[in-house]
């Protein structure tokens, strides 16, 4: 159905902007054959999610909602050929969006949607030079180009999308006994290690958000995105790729998270930080940069990613970080509202809230303060849910973070993690 690409190293020379942002609403478009086809069910999908419901443990909280919302998502946001559409950003597709669909499909046991999404991604997100594929990672942005045709717009990769995709492939290989998925995961792991990790002072290795050329502005500086760090994934990668020291990325991830959080007077993670590898000091990114050092839509994912590590692998580092770095948000919640953007001084930058933040924070609070988690669910998350959709029907990012945040990590069979 899809092919295994040849591997070759390449240095990308084009800067990569953040894959996640606060999007403004836009209406779905229709035009030529490559444009989105809304409300077309994927192969094997059904208006009745009974089959998917049966695959979640009966003890799963919000079990029916999770099955229903996935069914609604794949009908509205996943085109019939497997392309995930971001209606709020000119109907583009991203490696992040494709990977979220893969993760959700394997977590809820939907092999047909998984195969379709993977097929489209492998066939359309290839990184090429001169018509030849350079490696097995995915170009991060695909959409309508200036000449009116549809295709890859930015051939740089975004490591969070590739990490999520590789995680999904590994879990899928175990869940559905598909060795070809594991073969592809291992192929991608080689390129992820070679192209998206870097060894610096004292031999410490760090995960870069994308190509070296985009995120290493000089010999002693790294631009890092804490929300890309996925310690649970690195532990799984170490199981299937013992040739590389993936556990070293677990250590550096927690080091960056803990030390860079000190940039914030209220102890919150930032979307982006700069690390001076000679001094070990963290700084905000230059004011002229399009990448910002503040607590915003990227940072929310830190709560979810560490919740997975705490639950799946009993990580004391994850538990400790979730306890300490959510203190300010817990304080804000005492007033029943948390702003969507907060600067490093702890000042709210907007007067609106974000369901995606509440859902990611819900995952953390389930471990830290279950009473707050229940309040977030009842007062901020469930009220936004209507007929399978959270909030705006075009809000692709919200749908994914809300679903991932609500799915209990323990709903994933333990056999898939080892």
Digit-coded pLDDT (tens) for 241-267: 999 999 999 999 999 999 999 999 999
Q: Are strands 389-390 and 132-138 parallel, antiparallel or unpaired?
A: unpaired
N-terminal to C-terminal alpha carbon distance within the chain: 27
Q: Looking at the predicted structure, is the pLDDT value of residue 16 above 70? A: no
Range with the poorest average pLDDT among 48-62, 192-206, 225-239: 48-62
Q: What share of the chain in percent tops pLDDT 70? A: 88
Provide the pLDDT for residue 236: 98
Provide the pLDDT for residue 184: 98
Contact 150, 142 (CB under 8 A): yes
Q: Looking at the predicted structure, is the pLDDT value of residue 201 above 90? A: no
Provide the pLDDT for residue 92: 97
Q: What share of the chain in percent tops pLDDT 90? A: 83
Q: Looking at the predicted structure, is the pLDDT value of residue 35 above 50? A: no
Is 180 a catalytic site residue?
Answer: no
Provide the pLDDT for residue 8: 27
Q: What is the mean pLDDT of residues 284-308?
A: 96
Q: Looking at the predicted structure, is the pLDDT value of residue 80 above 70? A: yes
Closest CA to 152 of 191, 188, 197, 98: 98
89-121 as b/e: b if 16+ CB within 10 A: bebbbbbbbbbbbbbbbbbbbbeebbbbbbebb
Q: Looking at the predicted structure, is the pLDDT value of residue 49 above 90? A: no
How does residue 52 score in pLDDT terms, banded at 50, 70 and 90?
A: confident
How does residue 202 score in pLDDT terms, banded at 50, 70 and 90?
A: confident
Instruction: Say how far apart CA 56 and CA 73 lie, in whole Å.
Output: 17
Is 343 a catalytic site residue?
Answer: no
Closest CA to 23 of 103, 114, 96: 96
How does residue 349 score in pLDDT terms, banded at 50, 70 and 90?
A: very high
Q: How many CB atoms lie within 10 A of CB 152?
A: 19
Instruction: Say how far apart CA 110 and CA 71 lie, in whole Å.
Output: 10
Q: Looking at the predicted structure, is the pLDDT value of residue 395 above 80? A: yes
User: 389: helix, coil or strand?
Assistant: strand
Distance from CA of residue 300 to its chain's centroid? 10
Identify the active-site residue in 86, 160, 271, 298: 160
pLDDT tens for residues 114-147?
Answer: 999 999 999 999 999 988 999 999 999 999 999 9
pTM: 0.89
Kindly report the three-state secondary structure assignment for every residue of 328-360: HHHHHHCCCCCCCCECCCCCECCCCCCHHHHHH
Identify the active-site residue in 71, 86, 91, 96: 96
Q: Looking at the predicted structure, is the pLDDT value of residue 34 above 70? A: no
Provide the pLDDT for residue 48: 55
Provide the pLDDT for residue 50: 61
Provide the pLDDT for residue 47: 44
Q: Looking at the predicted structure, is the pLDDT value of residue 380 above 60? A: yes
How does residue 57 score in pLDDT terms, banded at 50, 70 and 90?
A: confident
For tokens 């997975």, what's the residue?
A: 308
61-416: what CATH class?
Answer: mainly alpha
Q: Looking at the predicted structure, is the pLDDT value of residue 15 above 70? A: no
Radius of gyration of the chain (CA): 20
Provide the pLDDT for residue 23: 29
């Amino acid at each position: 159905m899809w092919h295994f690409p040849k591997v070759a190293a390449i240095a990308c020379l084009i800067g990569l902007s953040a894959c996640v942002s606060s999007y403004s609403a836009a209406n779905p478009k229709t035009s030529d054959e490559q444009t989105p086809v809304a409300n077309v069910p994927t192969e094997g999908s059904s208006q009745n999610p009974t089959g998917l419901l049966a695959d979640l443990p009966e003890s799963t909280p919000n079990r029916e909602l999770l099955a229903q919302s996935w069914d609604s998502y794949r009908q509205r946001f996943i085109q019939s050929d497997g392309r995930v559409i971001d209606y709020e950003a000119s109907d583009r597709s991203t490696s992040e969006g494709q990977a979220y669909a893969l993760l959700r499909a394997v977590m809820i046991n939907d092999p047909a949607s998984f195969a379709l999404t993977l097929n489209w991604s492998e066939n359309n997100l290839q990184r090429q030079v001169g018509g030849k594929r350079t490696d097995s990672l995915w170009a991060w942005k695909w959409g309508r180009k200036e000449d009116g045709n549809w295709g890859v717009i930015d051939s740089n990769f975004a490591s969070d999308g590739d990490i999520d995709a590789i995680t999904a492939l590994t879990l899928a290989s175990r869940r559905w006994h598909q060795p070809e998925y594991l073969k592809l995961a291992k192929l991608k792991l080689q390129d992820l290690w070679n192209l998206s990790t870097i060894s610096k002072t004292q031999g410490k290795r760090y995960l870069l958000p994308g190509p070296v050329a985009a995120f290493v502005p000089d010999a002693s500086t790294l631009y890092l995105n804490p929300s890309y760090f996925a310690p649970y994934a690195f532990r799984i990668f170490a199981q299937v790729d013992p040739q590389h020291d993936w556990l070293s990325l677990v250590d550096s991830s927690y080091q960056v998270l803990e030390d860079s959080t000190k940039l914030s007077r209220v102890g919150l993670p930032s979307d982006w930080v700069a690390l001076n590898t000679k001094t070990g000091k963290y700084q905000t990114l230059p004011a002229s940069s399009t990448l910002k050092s503040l607590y915003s839509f990227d940072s929310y994912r830190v709560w979810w990613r560490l919740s997975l590590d705490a639950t799946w692998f009993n990580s004391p580092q994850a538990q400790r970080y979730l306890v300490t770095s959510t203190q300010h948000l817990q304080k804000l919640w005492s007033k029943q509202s948390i702003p969507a953007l907060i600067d490093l001084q702890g000042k709210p930058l907007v007067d609106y809230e974000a369901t995606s933040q509440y859902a990611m924070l819900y995952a953390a609070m389930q471990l830290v303060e279950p009473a707050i988690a229940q309040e977030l669910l009842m007062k901020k998350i469930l009220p936004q849910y209507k007929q399978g959709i959270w909030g705006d029907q075009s809000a692709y990012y919200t749908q994914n973070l809300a679903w991932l945040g609500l799915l209990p990590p323990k709903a994933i069979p333990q056999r898939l993690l080892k």
